[in-house]
Homo-oligomer: A and B are copies of this chain.
C-alpha cells in the first residue's frame, strides 16, 4: 500500500536519483565546501505536515533544490572542521541495501546478526581482545562511552545496582580522566546518575596527556577520603589536539588499583590499522573496554560506532533483560542468543554493520590504514609549514592528525587575538574554500585543522593555508580588532 503503484516508473526515477547522487559526490571538489542555507530555503523547509500525497519526483525535486546542496561539508577534500569522516560511495550503497533489507538487529536469527558479529570479531581481534570479549555497534562514541561507564559501574557496584540504584550505595563511585577528555564522558556520568562531580578531571602535561603519577595520587586521596575509585578513562586521540594518553601506564595503574580501564578511541583507536601509527597506541590492547567510531577514520556514512568489552559477561549482565514478548526460542526466528539488545540500550536497531562490512571487505585493512597514515603525515607536514611561518603560532605539537595554531598579527593583545582567529575561521568557512573549526588551547582561541579525510590531497592544505593567510591579511587591512 506504500509501495509504488508503478514499479517501472519508480525504477526509472530511482536510477535518475542514483545518477544525480554519483554526479554530486564525484564532482564534490568543484563546489564550495560549505554554503549557508538561504532564508528562503529555510522558510520552505518549515511548512506544516503535508496531508495529501505527492509524486516521488516532486519530493525529490524539492530535496535536490532545498536540501542536497546544503551539506555539512565533510564530504569535501577541504573539510577540516571537527573529526568527521568523509563517507564513500560504497558506504552509501551499503546503507541503501541495508535499508532495503530493513533488518531489525536487536536480536533474533537472521543474516544481519551474523554480519554484525563478524564486524565485532574483526575489531576485537584488531585490539587483541580475547574471544570472550563482547561488543555492539551503536550510533557513535558518545553512546559507546556511556555503555562502558555503565558496565564499569556494574563491575564496581555489582549487578544489584540495576535494581537498587545509586542512592543505596554507601561509597560514592568516582572516575578519572584528563581535561582533554571529550564532554560525552562527563555526560555519561550525568546520565548514569553518578554526577559529573564524580568524574575527577586531571590536568595534562605539555603534550595534553594525563600524568599517571598525579592520577595515582588522586586515587589514593579519594580512597583515603572514603570514595570508591572505579574507572580510569584514557584517550587514544583527544578531541582538541589528538593527544594519546600513556595507555600502557594507565593499564598498569588500573590493574594495580583494581579499577576499570576504558579507552575513548573515537578516532584514534582505528590507527591500529596504520602500521606507522600503531606503536603510539601501546597499551590499548590492555584496556577493559574501547569505544570508537566507524564514521570517522573508516569513513562509513553517519552514524556508526562501537564498544568492545573484555569481560563479555559483565557487559551482558549490565543490559540483558527479559520480557514475555522477547522470549528466546531454541529454533526459528527467535533463536540465536545472545541478542544484541542484551548488550546495549536499544531493542530496535538498524543494520549499521553492513556499511562497515562492505567498507572493510572492499578496501581491506591495509588500504584503510594507508589512508590514515596519509592524514597523519599531512598533519605533520602542515604543522611544519605553520611552525616555519612567523605569521602563525603553532599552539601544540602535532601528535596525530590535528593541527592547532593561530594567526598572530602584530599589535593585538590576547583577547583581540582570540576574536581575530575566531573571525578568520568563520570567514574562511563563509568563503567556501575550506572549513576548519575553532577551539581553545591553553586558554587562547585556536584555529583547529583536523584531517580525517580520505579525499584530502597535500595541495588542499596549501589552499587552506593560503585562504587563511589571505583572510587574515584582509582583516588586518580593515583594522579588525583595533
| Chain A interface residue bracket vs B | 35 or more
Min C-beta distance of A172 to chain B, whole Å: 5
A295 at the interface (CB under 8 A from B): yes
The answer to whether B72 touches A86 (Cβ under 8 A) is: no
**Which residue of B has the minimal Cβ distance to A14?**
B93
**Which residue of B has the minimal Cβ distance to A141?**
B348
Min C-beta distance of A163 to chain B, whole Å: 5
The answer to whether A367 touches B34 (Cβ under 8 A) is: no
The answer to whether B101 touches A358 (Cβ under 8 A) is: no
**Which residue of B has the minimal Cβ distance to A354?**
B67
A10 at the interface (CB under 8 A from B): yes
Given contacts A14-B22, A187-B345, A332-B429, contact A92 B81 (CB under 8 A): no
Q: How far is the CA of A375 from the CA of B146 in the complex (A)?
A: 38
The answer to whether A162 touches B66 (Cβ under 8 A) is: no
Q: How far is the CA of A71 from the CA of B333 in the complex (A)?
A: 10
**Identical chains in the assembly:** 2
The answer to whether A72 touches B122 (Cβ under 8 A) is: no
Interface centre among A71, A72, A182, A198 (most CB of B within 10 A): A72
The answer to whether B162 touches A196 (Cβ under 8 A) is: yes
Given contacts A70-B110, A73-B333, A371-B1, contact A439 B327 (CB under 8 A): yes
**Which residue of B has the minimal Cβ distance to A122?**
B49
- Which of A50-58, A208-216, A246-254, A384-392 faces chain B? A50-58
Give a binary string over A87-102; 1 marks a CB under 8 Å from any B CB, 0 the rest.
1111111011111111
Q: How far is the CA of A427 from the CA of B331 in the complex (A)?
A: 9
**Which residue of B has the minimal Cβ distance to A90?**
B56
Give a binary string over A338-358; 1 marks a CB under 8 Å from any B CB, 0 the rest.
000000011111110011001
Min C-beta distance of A84 to chain B, whole Å: 5
**B contact residues around A74 at 8 Å (CB):** 102-104
The answer to whether A51 touches B362 (Cβ under 8 A) is: no
The answer to whether B36 touches A7 (Cβ under 8 A) is: no
Q: Which of B108, B162, B166, B429 contacts A333 (CB 8 A)?
A: B429
| A residues 353-398 in Cβ contact with B at 8 Å | 354-355, 358-368, 370-371, 374
A139 at the interface (CB under 8 A from B): yes
**Which residue of B has the minimal Cβ distance to A81?**
B333
| A residues 101-123 in Cβ contact with B at 8 Å | 101-105, 108-112, 114-115, 117-118, 121-123
Interface centre among A91, A97, A440 (most CB of B within 10 A): A97
Given contacts A3-B455, A101-B71, contact A348 B125 (CB under 8 A): no
The answer to whether B54 touches A364 (Cβ under 8 A) is: yes
Q: How far is the CA of A329 from the CA of B431 in the complex (A)?
A: 16
The answer to whether B348 touches A142 (Cβ under 8 A) is: yes
The answer to whether A167 touches B141 (Cβ under 8 A) is: no
**Which residue of B has the minimal Cβ distance to A7?**
B26
The answer to whether A139 touches B19 (Cβ under 8 A) is: no
- 7 A-B pairs with CB atoms under 8 Å apart are A95-B95, A99-B302, A99-B355, A139-B348, A183-B321, A183-B323, A191-B191
